[in-house]
Amino acid sequence: MQYILALDQGTTSSRAIVFDHAGQPVAMAQKEFRQLFPQPGWVEHDPREIWATQHAVALEAVAQVGGIEHIAAIGITNQRETTLLWDRTTGHPVGNAIVWQDRRTAPRCDELRAQGHAGRIQRKTGLVIDAYFAGTKLEWLLDHVPGARARAERGELAFGTVDSWLVWNLTGGRVHATDASNASRTMLLDLRTQDWSEELLALLRVPRAVLPQVVPSSGVIAETEPALFGRALPIAGIAGDQQAATFGQACFTPGLAKNTYGTGCFMLMNTGAQPVASRNRLVTTIGWQGPPGPHRTAYCLEGSVFMAGATVQWLRDGLQIIQSAPEVESLAAQVDDTEDVYLVPAFAGLGTPDWDGYARGTLVGMTRGTGRAHIARAALEAIALQSADVFAAMARDAGLPLTELRVDGGASRNNLLMQMQADFLGVPVVRPQVTETTALGAAYLAGLATGFWRDAGEIAAQWRAERRFEPRLAPAEREAKLARWREAVARAKGWAVS
């Protein structure tokens, strides 16, 4: 038997999943790693831990299927926007990775907006100006790591998002590359030319010498160092986690949309071969780029919710009202409603459609009767309500009503949350049989490049629904709930500036 190995490097853990020709997972390994919070609003990872955990789980998963001789290719998917800088000679990072959730560059983003750059940046990159994206993070590292800017200009340092860091380590430092989907999240890539923008590099004072080569999402870009796995393996697919999940959900037709419930929630809709400019504060992004051909690049509209599964982690680790994440469903089910309690989990600011880097987490509406179950239910509702805001913006941008939402990610297995989501959207929520669609998308991209799968049609035929959640709320109740939620959001906005 031959399989595809998918490396799924996420925000809180590194995973490796092996898929068979039917697109079914046959082996999996996972390791969590540390989350570092050196200052309020700052979030960092140790790049060495990212690589060590990813390599370890890859070896573990390969062993489960009988050894490396059964692996045909590797696909990579990764937490996006997280920014790393390392020495090209030694391969050592110059500091910790700045995670996508980090807000330290919010004041710099304010400056860029005040200077009138918002329209130009959105037209070129498809992105709004926000600390979420990698460009200002890289600028910060170049300015704050002693000697980094001069070293970068001399070509001694390499910048990358997590995919680049993994490729660098997998190839023993021979290849410095990123795929088009990850490159489109840096605020440095021109969406139409699909190359780095000299204008934006000058604006953020980023030397071109520090940047990786942009490569297709599906295509053999390198081979691994033989010593890492026992023989060289082709690295044949790379995509940022949300684009990979969209591919794994077989959203190949314009108008199909998916929502992934991971650390955050990320809703993407395929818009076809041309980028669509958003009028409702969504971002335009490259979905994936294949080999040369008439449909080489697929574009997407995307809405981003920063705190989803991370909200449940906060209940576990911060409030300590649950012992493990799956407990949240049974705890929340102990009450029929939140009794007008709302949690706005703006711990890392607010993403789509508010884009407020100064919003902070807020819990409103509590009385003496409020208990653990009400807070747990409010946390689940917050995940679904944030996604409902994104869904409404996407429907307005698309100019057509979205008739269903495909869902995946760890929290999509929470039936109570998925029912809430259908209720707040007013359309069915459809969960596939394979919910590990992020890793599956990376596997599909690698398998297409190596002939493991024939074409997108063969992949689309493998997609199967496991359950449909139909909306139960009356339209008037739904509208009242969404309006009350927006009142709670208004109370969270701008808090860190006050």
pLDDT digits (tens, 9 = 90+) for 74-104: 999 999 999 999 999 999 999 999 999 898 9
Indicate whether 252 pLDDT > 90: no
Question: What average pLDDT score do residues 112-124 get?
Answer: 93
CB atoms inside a 10 Å sphere around CB 202: 10
Please report, rounded to a whole number, the percentage of residues in the chain having pLDDT higher than 70. Answer: 99
pLDDT tens by residue, 306-336: 889 899 999 999 999 999 988 999 999 999 9
Residue 291: pLDDT band by 50, 70, 90 thresholds?
A: low
Pairing of strands 465-469, 257-261: unpaired
Whole-number Cα distances in Å, 151 to 138, 203, 367: 14, 19, 57
Q: Is 80 annotated as a binding residue?
A: yes
Asked if residue 266 lies in contact with residue 259, where contact means CB atoms within 8 angstroms, the answer is yes
CB atoms under 10 Å from CB of 174, counted, come to: 12
- Give the whole-angstrom CA distance, residue 479 versus residue 476: 5
Short-list 165, 30, 173, CA closest to 97 = 165
The CATH code of the domain at 3-242 is: 3.30.420.40
What is the reported pLDDT for 303?
Answer: 92
Is residue 263 part of an annotated ligand binding site? yes
81 assigned binding-site residue: yes
Q: How far apart (Å, rounded) are the C-alpha atoms in residues 2 and 452?
A: 9
Tell me the pLDDT tens digit for each residue of 3-31. Answer: 999 999 999 899 999 999 999 999 999 99
pLDDT at position 293 is: 53
Whole-number pLDDT of residue 294 = 45
399 is in an annotated binding site: no
At 304, the pLDDT band (50, 70, 90 cuts) reads: confident
Cis peptide before 353 (omega within 30 of 0): yes
Distance set, CA 92 to CA 166, 177, 222 (Å): 13, 17, 21
Q: Does residue 62 register a pLDDT over 70?
A: yes
SS3 content of the chain, % helix, strand, coil (to 5): 40, 25, 40
Q: pLDDT digits over 217-236, tens only? A: 999 999 999 999 999 999 99
Rounded CA separation 452/462 (Å)? 14
Spatial strand order of the sheet with 25-32 comes to 25-32, 13-19, 3-9, 71-78, 234-240, 218-223
Question: Collapsing DSSP states into helix, strand and coil, what is residue 113?
Answer: helix
Provide the pLDDT confidence category of residue 295 given band limits of 50, 70 and 90. low
List residues bridging with 363 in a β-sheet: 343
242 is in an annotated binding site: yes
Higher pLDDT, 278 or 419: 419
479 assigned to a ligand binding site: no
Q: Which residues make Cβ contacts (< 8 Å) with residue 202, sequence separation at least 6?
A: none
- Write the pLDDT tens digit of every residue in 335-385: 999 999 999 999 989 988 998 988 999 999 999 999 999 999 999 999 999
Q: Which of 457, 467, 402, 456 is nearest to 434 (CA)?
A: 467
pLDDT level of residue 496 (50, 70, 90 thresholds): confident
264 is in an annotated binding site: no
Nearest alpha-carbon partner for 389 in 343, 424, 338: 424
Sign of CA dihedral 365, 368, 370, 372: positive
Using the structure block, give the residue that is written with the tokens 């959001």: 489
Check the annotation: does 132 bind a ligand: yes
Is residue 194 marked as binding? Answer: no
- Residue 340 tokens read as 């007008």
Exposed/middle/buried for 368, CB within 10 Å: 0-12, 13-18, 19+? exposed
Which residue, chain included where needed, has tokens 């869904």? 391
Work out the average pLDDT over 180-193: 94
pLDDT band at 61 (very low <50, low <70, confident <90, very high): very high
Report the SS3 class of residue 439. helix
Using CA atoms of 367, 371, 372, 377 in order, give the dihedral in degrees to the nearest 10: -70
pLDDT of residue 292: 57
414 DSSP assignment: -
Residue partners of 415: CB distance under 8 A and separation at least 6: 329, 469
C-alpha to C-alpha distance for 128 and 358, rounded to whole angstroms: 15
Note the Cα 382 to chain centre separation in Å: 18
Residue in 16, 165, 24 with CA at minimum distance from that of residue 86: 165
Q: Identify the residue whose tokens are 């489109």.
A: 184
Residue 309, annotated ligand binder? yes
Helix H or strand E segment including 26 = strand 25-32
Measure the CA–CA gap between 10 and 162, rounded to whole angstroms.
Answer: 9
At residue 305, the 3 state secondary structure works out as: strand
Helix (H, G, I), strand (E, B) or coil at 271: strand
